[in-house]
Amino acid sequence: MDIKATKEQGKVSVTVLRLSGNLDVESYEKLIAEAEALKAAGTLNLLLDLKEVPYISSSGLRALNIIFKAYKGDEKEEALSKGLRDGTYKSAHFKLLSPSKTVMEGLKITGFDMFLEIHKNLKDAVNSF
- What pLDDT digit, counting tens, does each position of 31-69 carry? 999 999 999 999 999 999 999 999 999 999 999 999 999
Report the predicted TM-score, pTM, of the whole model to 2 decimal places.
Answer: 0.91
CB atoms within 10 A of CB 41: 8
- Over pLDDT 70: what percentage of the chain? 100
Domains and CATH numbers, the chain: 2-127 (3.30.750.24)
The number of CA neighbours under 13 Å toward the Cβ of 15 is: 20
- Predicted confidence at residue 38, as pLDDT, reads 98
Helix (H) or strand (E) holding 63: helix 58-70
